[in-house]
């Protein structure tokens, strides 16, 4: 790496730059040089040890920080001025759709090898109690044919809608957008 001698770094009394000493240290090369270089090298090694201690620092944020953050977020979520659901009018219905989406994601997650990601619900104004669902999914690699998994997801969604929500979906669009590795 440091074949040529630098002139722009921190110069030691012997005329070498500390950056050269650092390069040799990083590369695991021996420095057969004078006491000045050896002192600088020891100092850099000391820093590396302290850095390792800092990386392993077990300090935790204050225990109430999570609550503080979530409290602030909940206030914003309730205000509803930041999360507009696509295809929905603003107002109380938004919350309901968030809740229905949560039920549907939970139903999809219950299929082994499937994680639900986004879930959009569109209410059919013409037909009461009927909705359209568009859901994106991530599948675990090696969980078997996608068709089988998607069929199972459809079944669970229909059951959850009928059983827990009292709605019927006239249309369910499922899209696989990602896969995750088996060991995850």
Partner 1 sequence: MVTGSAVAEAAPSDGGWDDATLVARAREGDLRAFEALVVRYQRRIYQLAWRMTSSSSDAEDVTQEVFLMLWRRLPELREDAAVVGWLYKTATNRCLNVLRSRKPTSEVDEATTPSHDASDDPERSAESNEQMEALAAALDRLPPQQRAVWLLREVHGRSYDEIADLVDTTPQSVRGRLARARVQLAEMMQPWR
Q: Which two structure tokens, joined as six digits, stand for 152?
A: 């199972």
Closest contact distance (angstroms) between CB of 79 and partner 1 is 11
DSSP code of residue 162: I
Helix axes 92-109, 146-160, angle to 10 degrees: 130
Nearer to partner 1, 137 or 150 (CB): 137
> Is 50 or 159 the residue whose CB approaches partner 1 more closely?
50
Report the alpha-carbon distance of residue 58 to residue 48 in Å, rounded.
18
Count how many Cα atoms sit within 13 Å of the Cα of residue 17 in the half-sphere of its side chain. Answer: 12
Least Cβ distance, residue 151 to partner 1 (angstroms): 21
Q: Which is nearer to partner 1, 65 or 171 (CB)?
A: 65
Closest to partner 1 by CB, 106 vs 171, is 106
Q: C-beta of 16: minimal distance to partner 1 in Å?
A: 12
Work out how close the CB of 63 gets to partner 1 at its nearest, in angstroms, rounded to a whole number.
9
What phi and psi, each to the nearest 5 degrees, are found at residue 5?
-80, 135
């Amino acid at each position: 790496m440091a074949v040529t001698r630098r002139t722009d770094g921190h110069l030691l009394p012997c005329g070498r730059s500390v950056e050269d000493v650092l390069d040799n240290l990083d590369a695991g090369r021996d420095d057969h040089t004078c006491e000045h270089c050896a002192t600088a090298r020891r100092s850099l090694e000391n820093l590396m040890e302290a850095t390792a201690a800092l990386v392993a620092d077990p300090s935790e944020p204050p225990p109430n920080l999570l609550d503080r953050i979530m409290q602030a977020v909940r206030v914003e979520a309730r205000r509803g001025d930041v999360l507009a659901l696509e295809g929905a009018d603003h107002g109380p219905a938004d919350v309901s759709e968030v809740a229905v989406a949560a039920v549907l994601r939970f139903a999809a997650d219950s299929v082994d090898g499937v994680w639900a990601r986004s879930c959009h619900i569109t209410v059919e104004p013409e037909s009461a109690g009927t909705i359209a669902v568009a859901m994106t999914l991530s599948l675990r690699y090696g969980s078997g044919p996608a068709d089988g998994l998607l069929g199972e997801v459809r079944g669970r969604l229909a059951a959850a809608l009928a059983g827990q929500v009292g709605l019927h979906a006239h249309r369910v669009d499922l899209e696989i957008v990602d896969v995750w590795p088996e060991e995850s």
